[in-house]
Amino acid sequence: MKRSIVLIVLAILTVIVYFSSFYYSSVIDSVAVATGSLIYIGLSVASILVWLLIFIYSDSKNKLPWLFVIALFPVIGLILYIMLGNGFRETFRYRRRMKQLGSDYVVPARHHDHSDVETELSYEALRLVKLNKITSQNDVTFKTKTRILTNGEQKFPVLLEAIKNAKEFIFLEYYIFHSDEMGMRVIDALIERAKAGVEIRVLIDSMGSSKRMSKDAIQMMKSAGIMFAEFDKVWIPFLSNKMNHRNHRKILVVDGKLAITGGINIGDEYIHRSVKFGFWRDTSILIEGEAVHDLAVIFSGDWFFATGERLEDDRYYVSYPSEEDGGVQVVDAGPQSTIAPIKQSIFRMIMDANHSIYIITPYLIPDFDVIMALKNAALSGIDVRIIVPGRPDKKFVYYATQSYFEQLLAVGVRIFTYDGVFCHAKVIVVDEKIATVGTTNMDIRSFYLNFEVNVMLYQTQSIEALLNDFNIDFSRSTEIIYTEWQKRSIIARTAQSLAQLFSAVM
């Protein structure tokens, strides 16, 4: 309603100014020229000041691209930076909102009992556990079972069955939630459980799902008693830097006993029904046991930020230990943290590798630290392999991914393109003993801007399933040969260089 009133008022003012110009054109022209000149001069001065402030004080990974944009297009660059580049206000806003939870709210850190644990973690795993515990405040658990869900055909039957069997509560949080055939199957299952008395909360990202979920589907859920919310709604996307800080998480928690996370959103394309993409390669993970608690806590924080409701009922956070199966640790990250916990975790994994690093990611737009870690690993004789899509979802972003190939190939990193397929999985396996599965892409946006969650696996049976998937993926991919890649056209090189220049602000 507010937006409608604003648009009507703007339309009326436009009409008045337009017709008045016939009578007062000479006066208006003079004032407009003078006013326009003053505004332009003011914006130019402001651009110079902002450029200097960024140059001197900013330690952002986006620093160089923004300096370039503002220097090349002073006024336009300043406006774009105000809309998209300055994340300080949004970061502060999230921190302030979370502080309102108070010290009496659910404590994110949970210290699990390790007294009867038989698993002996390697030195590298123990160091990674310590790092993640400091940066993300979540302890490792050895009483958690995990199972890899490869592609949508494995995930959705498990997800629907979990919803169907819910007895007390369901937390569901997704970046993309379509109201297409697959989405409606999930919505119908949720509605059936809501009518049976199960308490259900559904949280979607307003940018990721705003055009994908119909108002009718939302109303159906609300009418059935499902509590529904959008994370950080953006009214005018390109006039707000809220769009830079999106909730990219995918989480299902059922009765505190079971959880699912990973790369797979909810929609038909994730079961290979996309006209554009066809087969969709992706990975999620099923979690049963103590680690479910940590995902429930993450959901409760996101729900509070979106709605202001404190989820304080103890039944949401009861821990249900499972049988021992290696170590499992949940790591979450977002723009409220300057540490970038998941990026730190990935960096440590790469640097501690002894013989192999396998990565599958839809976007390969790493920052300087990760690039150097990958180079260092390859130069040390470690088998570094990276799988990226064989076809893009966003052409310009794909050029940015390609722009990093040459420097990595030159030092021995092996890069594969999944033949004719868009791979959306986010998985890293190191030394066949440590792995991470989650929502985080190997790009700057996921490292620093989005709200993400990953699951660390230490010597679990699920790692074997991930390795099997990698072997299948390698067999279906084409390796890029360094000498052949060097022969690409000048047009391709130009497009890739241009994309890399703006990769930090994508």
Which residue among 143, 343, 426, 433 is the active-site one? 426
Active site residue 250: yes
Whether 426 is catalytic is: yes
Set 139, 205, 232, 255: catalytic member: 255
Name the active-site residue from 250, 257, 343, 433: 250
Residues 112, 145, 245, 248: which is the catalytic one? 248
Contact between residue 374 and residue 365 where contact means Cβ atoms under 8 Å apart: no
Three-state SS string across 10-44, please?
HHHHHHHHHHHHHHHHHHHHHHHHHHHHHHHHHHH
Amino acid making up residue 454 = N
Answer whether 248's CB lies under 8 Å from 438's CB.
Answer: no
Q: Would you call 355 a catalytic residue per the annotation?
A: no
DSSP category for residue 274: B
- Between the alpha carbon of residue 198 and those of residues 166, 195, 230, the distances in Å are 7, 7, 21
Closest among 395, 436, 439, 179 to 302, alpha carbons compared: 439
| Active-site residue flag, 180 | no
Q: Kindly name the residue from 282, 431, 469, 473 that is annotated as catalytic.
A: 431
Phi, psi angle pair for 394, to nearest 5°: -130, 115
Annotated catalytic residue 255: yes
Catalytic choice (61, 242, 424, 433): 424
What CA–CA distances, in Å, run from 305 to 100, 219, 232, 242, 299?
10, 22, 8, 13, 10
Instruction: Give the tokens for residue 42.
Output: 């003011």
> Residue 407: which of 427, 384, 437, 436 has the closest Cα?
384
- CA distance linking residue 160 with residue 166, whole number of Å: 10
For the annotated catalytic residues, the residue numbers are: 248, 250, 255, 424, 426, 431
